[in-house]
Copies of this chain bind each other. A is one copy, B any other.
Amino acid sequence: MFVNRRRVHIEWGDCDAAGIVFYPRYFAMFDASTHALFEAAGWKKVDLRREFDMVGFPMVDTRARFLVPSSYGDDVVIETQVAAFRNSSFDVEHRVYKATPDGEVLALEGWETRVWTGRHPDDPEKLKSRPIPKAVIARLTT
């Protein structure tokens, strides 16, 4: 699978009163990581729209499991890949690694199921799930 890694600096404003990342912030980081995965593969969202007439890939199901907390000033690495493609939906996996005195540890994991969506053929005001383009699948599975 095509994997994208990006470094994220934990900001003061990412943390809650316990001094650790407020977990909804991780979902925002994951959303940015999924967009970054497609960008790294060659497609900004604007390219996906132009090239494939898609509108977006809304989330239908997401989960995260938290193992080691992070705090302001930490640097983490988010590793993102598509775990599975189906006809019009796909699963994304994120693994977040953090350097510690004992070496790099898995700090949290995230999973997403998204639907490839375009305009409804009968009503351009409406959206409809659409088959994921073969070029996208080919690029992200190699």
Contacts and interface: CB of A to CB of B under 8 A. Distances in A.
Interface string A42-60: 0011100000000110111
Interface in A56-83: 56, 58-66, 69, 71-73
Nearest to A115: B66
Interface bracket on A: 35 or more
Contacts of A31: 11-13, 22-24
A35 B9 CA distance: 11
A15 interface: yes
Interface of A: 9, 11-13, 15-20, 22-25, 27-28, 31-32, 35, 44-46, 55-56, 58-66, 69, 71-73
